[in-house]
Amino acid sequence: MDKTERLRSLPGIDRILATDAAKHLKVGWSGAIYDDEVRALVAELRARIQDGADPGTSTPAELAEQAGARLARRLDRGVRRCINATGVVLHTGLGRAALPAAAIEAIEREIGSGYSVVSINREEGTRIRRESAVARLLCALTGAEAATVVNNNAAATLIGLNTLAGGREAILSRGQLVEIGGSFRMPDVFVAAGVALREVGTTNRTRASDYEAAIGDQTGLLLRVHPSNFKVIGFTEEVDIAGLVELGRKHRIPVMDDLGAGALVALPPEPVISDSLKAGADLLTCSGDKLIGGPQSGIILGRRIWVDRVRRNPLFRTLRVDKLTLAALEATLRLFLRRDGPGADHPTLHMLQLSLDAIAKRARTLRTRLAKDVAAVGVEIVDGYSQVGSGSLPGENLPTKLLSIAHPTLKSSAFAKRLRLSDPPIYTRIVDDKVCLDPRTLRPGDDKDIVRILQELTR
């Protein structure tokens, strides 16, 4: 069949839309969205034929079904619950921190069900800063004079730079010219913030004298950026935050500390937020959705004079957070006020601090269930490592026990893909050509879904 014949044999759009399959599939879709998908499908088939391809023959009803499947895939839910069996605790692709139950309850019951107090003083009925409660909690937890919050730490860094050094220079060590996910590079942030970057030192060694030699009339800020997603080891030297503060005081230049992940409690070797503030940092930024374990947000702490200037920056309104974020972050922060700490109610810290014995016990329990209910798969418990993830505690591998699972017919890559396409999706990792599940990052109730889905995939 030549090109002309193939084009003539392609069913017309009206014929496809007239089929019972099309009429059935259109139900539930608004407007002409299904019709548009049929037109797009036919146009693609025509283009392929024009290019010399042979897409085969399909009946009008078959094309109607294809259009429906395409539309369903295109408009499938994006953000949805999944099972994180990768062992990466703060998995960026899977939403980073699993929120504490208290944060979920705050969103559902206090915020999502109706109106909520956001920026009104209950006693006087006047307007207040929407993040006032979160700011008070952050100050109580860290000893900061003042605090505020924006939508992520990239935003916090941007507005901090612009506020403290906009139109001037900021000095940064070459060893701290970091790039994080999404090609977020510090030199580009400087440009966006309207700040000239003055690099000092080398990749592996920067001294206080390097900073001091670079200070001039245009210096508006001394900046430290914690390299939270990599390590430089060996012949190294850097100026700690206390040394940078001493230099800043000497020359009357503010010092900003971008901690990246941020930690309210000791998680060596990650720096603790309060330690930086005690050392005298004028402004500090970090993420609220990494080691703090809350929703995506950027936390800004420090001296009141600088935090207030940040809030007055015209950029602040464009970067502010909504009521859902504030409610979830407030509930998460309150866990750290407990006398005995957040404990098991804080998913991120709980996962990071799980003992190897506890993980092995859960691995054995799940293996027993799989052996009983999904006999078709082969399951072994093997040694492995979990990771913190999201640029936190780089190089810190956490010993774990993995469930190594072999499908009776599928290769590991195909098996892993089928698991990702299940409901809910299961994300795993492949080790030694076997699909592996890490119990460290499984949440309560995940085991039941894993057993059910594996049963479905081995029938």
Residues 104, 444: contact at Cβ < 8 Å?
no
pLDDT at 259: 94
CATH 3.40.640.10 is held by the domain 101-343: yes
pLDDT at 55: 85
pLDDT digits (tens, 9 = 90+) for 110-124: 888 889 999 999 889
pLDDT at 375: 86
Determine the Cα–Cα distance for residues 52 and 6; give it in Å rounded to an integer: 10
Give me the mean pLDDT over the 394-410 stretch: 90
138: closest CA among 302, 347, 261?
Answer: 302
Determine the Cα–Cα distance for residues 75 and 62; give it in Å rounded to an integer: 20
pLDDT at 313: 98
pLDDT at 147: 98
pLDDT at 281: 97
Position of tokens 């914690």?
Answer: 226
* Total length of the chain: 459
pTM of the predicted protein model? 0.89
Q: Is the pLDDT of residue 412 over 80?
A: yes
- The tokens for 44 are 């693609």
- The tokens for 135 are 């700011």
- The tokens for 48 are 């392929």
CATH 3.90.1150.110 is held by the domain 83-92+349-457: yes
pLDDT digits (tens, 9 = 90+) for 345-359: 999 999 999 999 999
Instruction: Tell me which of 10-24, 49-63, 124-138, 202-216 is least confident.
Output: 49-63
The phi, psi pair for 263, rounded to 5°, reads -145, 130
Report the 3 state secondary structure along the chain.
CCHHHHHHHCCCHHHHHCCHHHHHHHCCCCCCHHHHHHHHHHHHHHHHHHCCCCCCCCCHHHHHHHHHHHHHHHCCCCCCCCEECCCECCCHHHCCCCCCHHHHHHHHHHHHCCCCCCCECCCCCCECCCCHHHHHHHHHHHCCCEEEEECCHHHHHHHHHHHHHCCCEEEEEHHHCCEECCCEEHHHHHHHHCCEEEEECCCCECCHHHHHHHCCCCEEEEEEECCCCCCCCCCCECCCHHHHHHHHHHHCCCEEEEEECCCCCCECCECCHHHHHHCCCCEEEEECCCCCCCCCCEEEEECHHHHHHHHHCCHHHHHCCCHHHHHHHHHHHHHCCCCCCCHHHCHHHHHHHCCHHHHHHHHHHHHHHHHHHCCCCEEEEEEEEEEEECCEEEEEEEEEEEEEEECCCCCHHHHHHHHHCCCCCEECEEECCEEEECHHHCCCCHHHHHHHHHHHHCC
Determine the Cα–Cα distance for residues 245 and 257; give it in Å rounded to an integer: 10
The sign of the CA dihedral 260, 261, 263, 269 is negative
pLDDT at 77: 82
Distance of CA 279 to the CA centre of its chain: 29
Determine the Cα–Cα distance for residues 254 and 161; give it in Å rounded to an integer: 11
Give me the mean pLDDT over the 226-233 stretch: 73
Which band of pLDDT confidence, cut at 50, 70 and 90, is reported for residue 395?
Answer: low
430: closest CA among 458, 404, 401?
Answer: 404
pLDDT digits (tens, 9 = 90+) for 272-323: 999 999 999 999 999 999 999 999 999 999 999 999 999 999 999 999 999 9
pLDDT at 181: 66
pLDDT digits (tens, 9 = 90+) for 44-79: 999 999 998 888 888 999 999 999 999 998 998 888
Residues 368, 450: contact at Cβ < 8 Å?
no
pLDDT at 30: 86
pLDDT at 230: 67
* Average pLDDT value for the chain: 93
Give me the mean pLDDT over the 331-344 stretch: 94
Q: Is the pLDDT of residue 107 over 80?
A: yes
Which band of pLDDT confidence, cut at 50, 70 and 90, is reported for residue 420?
Answer: very high
Determine the Cα–Cα distance for residues 340 and 317; give it in Å rounded to an integer: 37
Give me the mean pLDDT over the 417-430 stretch: 96
Give me the mean pLDDT over the 419-432 stretch: 95
pLDDT at 64: 95
List the chain domain ranges. 3-74, 83-92+349-457, 101-343
Give me the mean pLDDT over the 218-241 stretch: 85
Which band of pLDDT confidence, cut at 50, 70 and 90, is reported for residue 391?
Answer: low
Q: Is the pLDDT of residue 392 over 90?
A: no
Sequence-separated (6 or more) residues with CB below 8 Å from residue 213:
200
Give me the mean pLDDT over the 101-108 stretch: 94
From residue 203, give the alpha-carbon distance in Å to each of 232, 236, 368.
8, 9, 51
